[in-house]
Structure 1
Amino acid sequence: MEKNYSFVDLSMAYFEKKSKIYKEGGYKKAISLKKNKEDYENHLFVFLIDLNICLLPVYLWVLEFLLILTGLIPPRIFDLLFYIMYALLFVVSVILLPLFTTKTKGVTFGGEFLDMRIVNRKNQIVEGLPLLLRQAIGMGIPLMLFGYLFKTAGIVAWWLLNGIVSLVMPNQQTIVDVILGLHLVYEPEVNICFEQAKQEQEICPIDLHIRSNYSDDGYYDVEEIFKQAKELGLETISITDHNCARQNAAALRFASLYGIQYIPGVELDAQYGDLRVRVLGYYIDWEHEIFDALERASLKREKENSLLRVKKFEEYSGVSIDVNSLMETSRFQTITATDITNMVFNNERVRSLSFVKKYIDSTDNINEAMKQFKFHIFGKGGPCYVKGNYPRLEDVIKAIHISGGICVLASWHMDYIDDETIQKIVDKGIDGIECFSPCVQEETISSLLKIAMNNKLLISCGSDYHGPTKQDRHLGQTHCPEKGLQLVRILTNQAN
């Protein structure tokens, strides 16, 4: 029977999931507040939202006072309403706000708007008493105490003192933050949504297509991936980061610790004619100098593409982009279409421009508007589309073979490539095909299997797991049936 969840249930599930993602690795990507205009404004915005939540009883009392002045409420109950308001002010500011912040593990009402979280000195999750004290002593109690003893002047003086301390401290800590060892950070971007639960897919014991945070869009570190793989009962994995093979050093160490077979891997971009394809390399000598050269070339190419993307967007929109600010927050010194889209939709002035507003007006929600905007502006054929120049397919295959590896054609975008073209790609020296994947349709899986069998190629399976950055993909869910495992094990037994 289908269960209906209340708004409170969904909200708490959302904050629980958000905290779990942050705790499991998101804290490594958190960004502390800096001493700049934008961060000061954002901090003030968060504070004002939380303050206004606390002052809701006061606003209700003002409304009641106006009703008394208009004669709709008898004046004799004025004192009673005042004491009720004061009691509610205590409940909201000293009890409810601290409890809410504790329940969400550091996210306040204002913090949710700007993806900020209260954390400890190491940017890690804080739970329990420190959060209660931070909100009660820092917000609620001064509001009640100074308001009672010194009226409005006392409250204003307290906030001004906190403001001065925040301006001086390196990460904008308030007085209570300094005492408790806390501060605010920007959380890394994640997309959390809830859908009607579908029939749970079976976990495949082999997953040979996983991205860690060595990739520009991967999330979890290498050990966290091994932890998850162990919990799911996986027997063989390969972490195939995007144009990077350095993760294999850590992965090989954790493989013995967690008792999981590990195949050194990499995923490389390649150009075949007008097509961009991806090639998975397995059993590679990841220390071979060829991979260092490929990674450096990839980083240089993506940075150049980023600058060209920014230039095209500025020419198209007339909106200036703070390149240095965006580059500072990127581990890979890149500015993606997603970065620019987020910047556009988070800026009220830019969001009101006609070329943006039309997407907001024509879609049901802001997420869909951002998706359409990104697709039409930066997608193929769009005014700000940037075509990358990737290594030739033949050179990528040669690089993997030079390192002693096996070349497997990734399933990425195979839904859009006809069988004849796939056969021509295979003829360039491909050793196998990733036939089983959640990224392609069932019809494509059948076609890839047929091509692999006809050419006596190895067969692979993988989830293309990125972590919470791509929530439709899950570790161990490769769409590989039990019969298919027998074929995949031919590949995983190559080291024996």
Structure 2
Amino acid sequence: MQKNIIDLHMHSAHSDDGEFTPTELVKMCAESGLKYFALTDHNSTKGTAEAYQAAQQYGLTLISGIEIDCVHEGTHLHVLGYGVDPNYPAFAKIEADILKQEQQKSVQRVGLVEKLGIYINHDKLNKLSKHGVIIGEMIAEASIYEPENKDHPLTMPYLAGGKRSNNPYVNFHWDFCAPGKPAHVAINYISLNEAIKYIVESGGIPVLAHPGNNIHESEKLLVSILAQGVKGIEVYSSYHSEEQIQFYLSQAQQRGCLITCGSDFHGKTKPSIKLGDCRCSKETEQTLIQKLAPYYFKK
């Protein structure tokens, strides 16, 4: 499959689960053949200035971005903001609030995984921790390959050849630490309405990220989300099946939504995801590049 020249969903080390610095990430974008990209760190715009400087060096076009955790009708959503002002004060406040909660809940998260009988290498875990935060992907990295878990039925699916080995760290997170799972620890996220308000006030456009992961194919929930002011849908996602792509493409076309694409590249937490693997047609890609022109980042 030919890679796209635009990728609107990726994370740097300013996300707890991102591996590379913004500069390293931009260099990788250039090497992957990308021409347009958006840096969309979790609840953070701190990497924008560095990414822009690197983009200038490599001749790439940056769309400033953010991926905000929020809640609507009891569902945890991720909303992407494109063209946002990285210095908008609310973003720093959201990031600081979530960081404080994550720091407070990390020990509890680790304890719940250990309660399942999974051994965790705490020395390794402490080295992986960022700012005192321990997320599910870090727990996975400090446990699934440890000899103490050899032949453990709960960790075997993440080893090479196992049914969850394609993205072992994030799959571990989804299987054990996500909402409804045995090691889930609740974080109080802002509402969808608040997330939209902040994105719009900062000059951006709100887009629903990888809906197949969050709302699956619930047309009722999708309509409710769009009614709050979300203007686009990440139709082409590395997570979506062909059936999901067709479902969300049809919904976006019917409702006049911006159709976007993104790999959700993180690095080691999602090793099967590559930069530029956005799966959209060249025609869709060119249309998107034109529509996003007002949101290209300029200092």
Q: Report TM bin, short chain.
A: 0.7 to 0.9
Question: 1:231/1:359 Cα in 2 relative to 1: closer, same or farther (>3 Å)?
Answer: closer
2:74 aligned residue: 274
Q: Quick check: 1:210–1:462 contact (8 Å CA) kept in 2?
A: yes
Question: 1:308/1:458 Cα in 2 relative to 1: closer, same or farther (>3 Å)?
Answer: same
1:407 aligned residue: 206
Q: Quick check: 1:458–1:490 contact (8 Å CA) kept in 2?
A: no
2:83 aligned residue: 283
1:265 aligned residue: 65
**Letter of the aligned partner of 2:269 in structure 1?**
T
**Letter of the aligned partner of 2:91 in structure 1?**
F
1:487 deviates by: 3.1
CA deviations 1:337-385 (Å, max 9, x no partner) are: 343345445665x538xxx84447x869577499697766545544323
Question: 1:222/1:202 Cα in 2 relative to 1: closer, same or farther (>3 Å)?
Answer: same
2:193 to 394, 399, 419: 394
Aligned partners of 2:120, 2:214: CA distance in 1, in Å? 37
Structure 2: gaps of 5 or more residues: none
**Letter of the aligned partner of 1:332 in structure 2?**
H
1:336 deviates by: 2.5
**Letter of the aligned partner of 1:337 in structure 2?**
G
1:231 to 23, 26, 31: 31
CA deviations 1:290-341 (Å, max 9, x no partner) are: 111011112112223312213434555598985x873454123222234334
Aligned partners of 2:242, 2:118: CA distance in 1, in Å? 44
1:217 deviates by: 1.5
User: 1:459 aligns to what SS in structure 2?
Assistant: strand
Aligned partners of 1:389, 1:242: CA distance in 2, in Å? 15
1:340 aligned residue: 139
Aligned partners of 1:275, 1:289: CA distance in 2, in Å? 26
Q: Quick check: 2:48–2:64 contact (8 Å CA) kept in 1?
A: yes
Q: Quick check: 2:136–2:173 contact (8 Å CA) kept in 1?
A: yes
Q: Quick check: 1:212–1:466 contact (8 Å CA) kept in 2?
A: yes
* Structure with the largest fraction of helix: 1
2:43 aligned residue: 243
The TM-score normalised by the length of structure 2 is 0.84
Matches within 5 A, 1:42-81: none
**Letter of the aligned partner of 2:270 in structure 1?**
K
2:149 aligned residue: 351
CA deviations 1:18-41 (Å, max 9, x no partner) are: xxxxxxxxxxxxxxxxxxxxxxxx
Aligned length: 290
Q: Quick check: 2:82–2:295 contact (8 Å CA) kept in 1?
A: no
Confirm whether residue 481 of structure 1 aligns to residue 281 of structure 2.
yes
1:284 deviates by: 0.6
1:418 aligned residue: 218
Aligned partners of 1:241, 1:380: CA distance in 2, in Å? 21
Aligned-residue Cα RMSD (Å) equals 3.1
Q: Quick check: 1:415–1:440 contact (8 Å CA) kept in 2?
A: no
CA deviations 1:239-298 (Å, max 9, x no partner) are: 111111111011122222222111111111111122111011111110111111011112
User: 1:295 aligns to what SS in structure 2?
Assistant: helix
CA deviations 1:415-451 (Å, max 9, x no partner) are: 7241221111111111211111221112222222222
User: 1:267 aligns to what SS in structure 2?
Assistant: strand
Q: Quick check: 2:18–2:269 contact (8 Å CA) kept in 1?
A: yes
* More displaced 10-residue stretch of structure 1: 230-239 or 426-435: 230-239
Aligned partners of 1:435, 1:381: CA distance in 2, in Å? 25
Q: Quick check: 2:17–2:137 contact (8 Å CA) kept in 1?
A: no
Structure 1: gaps of 5 or more residues: 1-200
Matches within 5 A, 1:441-452: 441-452=241-252
Q: Percent identity?
A: 30
Aligned partners of 1:253, 1:212: CA distance in 2, in Å? 15
Q: State the structure with bigger RCO (CA 8 A, min sep 6), 1 or 2.
A: 2
Aligned partners of 1:470, 1:464: CA distance in 2, in Å? 9
1:456 aligned residue: 256
The TM-score normalised by the length of structure 1 is 0.52
Question: 1:345/1:485 Cα in 2 relative to 1: closer, same or farther (>3 Å)?
Answer: closer
CA deviations 1:2-28 (Å, max 9, x no partner) are: xxxxxxxxxxxxxxxxxxxxxxxxxxx
